[in-house]
Amino acid sequence: MSDHNQFQFSSSGHLPGVTLLHADMDDFHYDRHAHEEHAFGITLTGMQEFFSGGHHHRSHPGQIILFNPEEVHDGNSGGEVPLSYQMLYVPPETLGPLVASVSGKTVRHPEQCRFRASDTLLWDEPLRQHLQTLGQMIQRGQGSQIEQEQQLLGIAERLAQREGSVAESTQRPRTDRLLRRAKDFIQAHMHEDINLDAISAAANLSKYHFLRLFRQQFGITPHQYVLNCRINAARSALATGGKLEEVALQHGFTDLSHFNRRFKRIYGMTPRQYQSCLQHSA
């Protein structure tokens, strides 16, 4: 991997759980993975290629990338010009109620609302400006709480204008409910040495039927999902100051070397580097 690949994570001191990645890269490739947060990317220079939602995409300078929570994707630089981009991560429990509050529609339980973008790639100058301004504030450690909140509110307002509404909790189709059980089981037992028999039993499906449905629905295998859950949980533990060796062992990694390899293939840096970035931005 080239020394020209640079990744910098920063956390907002005013908006809980909101973080920013600024990346410059020319030959790095992210493994297929998913985030627990909404991820809003802006391609600054170069071109970003990625696979998501069953399709290959290309993002050009000024274009916005939207990944919903748990939406599987990968990513790499495309073309001869090095890629530079920013990615803003916003927790769903923050964004959903905020979009609901500015949508102008009556919602019984706004705290239960979850926003879901319908587009993966789009051109939207007002949205881009809010995303980029908030990202720069977080990266540089600038902006008061009200200034950062105002930019996040601008993002929510623009999303509400584009999408029209957010979804309250509804009854899921049977297959979705069964696979949700499997995902809940994985998240509850991800620190253990779980196997396919246990996961498929939690979903009340045969092992092979479960494997086919899971990959068809989520785009990754159950094993990849287990690893993804472990990495996401470990990242949260790192953000709260957890010790590297303890975080690795507590989240199902055999040793620090194993943890380093898996983490770097998704976030472009080692767990120690990630934790250092957040500490310096706090």
First vs last Cα of the chain: how many Å apart? 29
Tell me how far apart the alpha carbons of residues 154 and 167 are, in angstroms, rounded to a whole number: 20
Tell me if 8 sits within 8 A of 19, measured CB to CB: no
Q: Could you tell me the pTM of the whole model?
A: 0.82
In this structure, the answer to whether residues 25 and 156 fall within a common structural domain is yes
**Residues 22, 125 within the same domain:** yes
Q: Residue 261 is part of which domain span? A: 174-281
Residue 79 reports pLDDT greater than 90: no
Question: Which residues fall within 8 angstroms of residue 265, CB to CB, at 6 or more apart?
Answer: 30, 31
Residue 246, in any domain of the structure? yes
Distance, C-alpha 95 to centroid of its chain: 13
pLDDT, residue 1, reads: 47
Instruction: Say whether both 97 and 218 belong to one domain.
Output: no
Q: Are residues 117 and 254 in the same domain?
A: no
- Domain identity same for 64 and 127: yes
* DSSP notation for 185-221: HHHHHTTS---HHHHHHHTTS-HHHHHHHHHHHHSS-
- Say how many C-beta atoms besides its own lie within 10 A of residue 32's C-beta: 18
**Is the same domain home to 93 and 212?**
no
Clarify whether residues 218 and 247 are in a common domain: yes
Low-confidence winner among 92-96, 125-129, 175-179 (lowest mean pLDDT): 175-179
**Is there a single domain that holds both residue 218 and residue 245?**
yes
Closest CA to 79 of 42, 44, 45, 47: 47
- Say if residue 220's pLDDT is above 90: no
Per DSSP, helices labelled H in the chain are: 92-102, 125-140, 145-163, 174-189, 196-202, 207-218, 222-239, 244-250, 256-267, 271-281
Q: Is 123 in contact with 37 (CB distance < 8 Å)?
A: no
The answer to whether residues 89 and 47 belong to one domain is yes
Query: What residue has token string 């396919």?
Result: 196
Tokens representing 68 are: 């919903």
Residue 199 tokens, joined = 């996961």
Nearby residues of 268 by Cβ (< 8 Å), 6 or more positions away: 5, 7, 23, 25, 28, 30
| Separation between Cα atoms, residue 203 and residue 174, nearest integer Å | 11
pLDDT digits (tens, 9 = 90+) for 228-255: 999 999 999 999 999 999 999 999 898 9
Q: Which of 163, 185, 201 is the last residue of a domain?
A: 163
Q: What is the pLDDT of residues 1-49, one digit of tens each?
A: 456 789 999 999 999 999 999 999 988 899 999 999 999 999 999 999 9
User: Do 126 and 18 have their domain in common?
Assistant: yes
- Residue 270: CATH number of its domain: 1.10.10.60
pLDDT at 281: 74
Residues 151, 195, single domain; the answer is no
Report pLDDT digits (tens) over 156-201.
Answer: 999 999 886 555 544 456 677 888 898 899 889 988 888 999 999 9
Give the total number of structural domains in the chain: 2
Task: Point out the domain boundary residue: 135, 163, 191.
Answer: 163
